């Protein structure tokens, strides 16, 4: 090696400033639209890899985020480069536990940011897929009020994925019990190009500096269209929440690792 190439991740170059993303911590701020639904428990459990276990009876969380993230380069970078730090993502989250610690495992996640997709698949194990995502902004003058409708839509090249819509009412709390937005479990799958084996690693991540603000509630409409989500399509839609949100994504802890043959199932 020449010792001339710098940066955190590819592309590395002599300036050391061309990496697609920087190291954690990553700081997020933005808005979220969430609905929780009772889905088929057997179908949800089938998506959870060992040693994680599904929390019995817990609802599935469908969330769309509209965010600004500094992608590991700091707040000034985020302010100067909205073309790289504005990100939207849609998350399908299952409530799971490992050694007594409850959290979320996301078997499906959709995103419109190259930086987020890359760090997710390469580093943390978030299974992000490229998508176009839209979400109704709050009223620029009054903010979100009862009677307002907010909608999020997710679309991939293959077709629609899911739509969430909520009519804001005067509820003051989220009636469903789900794990706190703090601990997440992810599964990174890295194929070896020499023999096509795959290294499977499961990580536990604890978010910090979490803040949920300006929460509004209401009844949701959820339309699930993507084939991969069909088993989780709920018979009835639960309550919804829209809110401002902030969090910091830190380093992770590896809790499981194994090697799979090319045709071996997990």
Predicted model pTM? 0.94
What pLDDT, on a 0 to 100 scale, did the predictor assign at position 171? Answer: 78
Instruction: Check: CB of residue 50 under 8 Å from CB of residue 16.
Output: no
Q: What is the pLDDT of residues 194-224, one digit of tens each?
A: 999 999 999 999 999 999 999 999 989 999 9
16 belongs to a structural domain: no
Out of 35-44, 79-88, 140-149, 236-245, pick the least confident. 236-245
| Number of structural domains in the chain | 1
203 belongs to a structural domain: yes
1 belongs to a structural domain: no
Q: Which residue has the tokens 């020499």?
A: 194
What pLDDT, on a 0 to 100 scale, did the predictor assign at position 110? Answer: 98
Instruction: Check: CB of residue 201 under 8 Å from CB of residue 257.
Output: yes
155 belongs to a structural domain: yes
Please provide residue 245's backbone torsions phi and psi, each rounded to the nearest 5 degrees: -150, 150
- Give the SS3 label for residue 123: helix
Query: Does 174 have pLDDT greater than 80?
Result: no
Query: Does 234 have pLDDT greater than 70?
Result: yes
Average pLDDT over residues 229-240: 89
**160: containing domain:** 26-260
What pLDDT, on a 0 to 100 scale, did the predictor assign at position 115? Answer: 97
**Based on the number of CB atoms within 10 Å of its own CB, is 42 exposed (0-12), middle (13-18) or buried (19 or more)?**
exposed
6 belongs to a structural domain: no
CATH of the domain at 251: 2.40.400.10
Closest CA to 97 of 259, 250, 255: 255
Instruction: Check: CB of residue 69 under 8 Å from CB of residue 79.
Output: no
């Amino acid at each position: 090696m020449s010792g001339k190439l710098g940066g955190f991740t590819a592309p590395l170059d002599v300036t050391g400033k061309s990496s697609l993303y920087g190291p954690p911590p990553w700081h997020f701020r933005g808005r979220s639209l969430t609905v929780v639904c009772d889905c088929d428990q057997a179908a949800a459990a089938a998506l959870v890899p060992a040693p994680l276990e599904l929390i019995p009876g817990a609802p599935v969380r469908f969330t769309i985020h509209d965010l600004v993230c500094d992608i590991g380069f700091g707040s000034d970078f985020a302010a100067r480069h909205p073309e790289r730090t504005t990100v939207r993502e849609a998350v399908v989250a299952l409530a799971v536990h490992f050694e007594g610690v409850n959290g979320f495992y996301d078997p499906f996640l959709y995103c419109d940011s190259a930086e987020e997709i890359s760090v997710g698949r390469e580093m943390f194990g978030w299974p992000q897929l490229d998508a176009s995502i839209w979400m109704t902004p709050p009223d620029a003058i009054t903010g979100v009020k009862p009677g307002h409708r907010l909608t999020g839509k997710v679309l991939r090249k293959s077709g629609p994925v899911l739509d969430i819509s909520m009519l804001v009412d005067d509820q003051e709390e989220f009636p469903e019990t789900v794990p706190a937005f703090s601990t997440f479990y992810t599964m990174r799958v890295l194929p070896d190009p020499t023999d096509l084996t795959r290294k499977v690693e499961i990580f536990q991540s604890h978010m910090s500096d979490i803040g949920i603000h300006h929460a509004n509630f209401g009844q949701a409409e959820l339309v699930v269209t993507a084939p991969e989500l069909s088993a989780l399509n709920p018979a009835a839609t639960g309550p919804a929440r829209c809110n401002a949100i902030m969090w910091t994504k830190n380093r992770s802890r590896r809790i499981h690792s194994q090697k799979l043959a090319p045709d071996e199932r997990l």
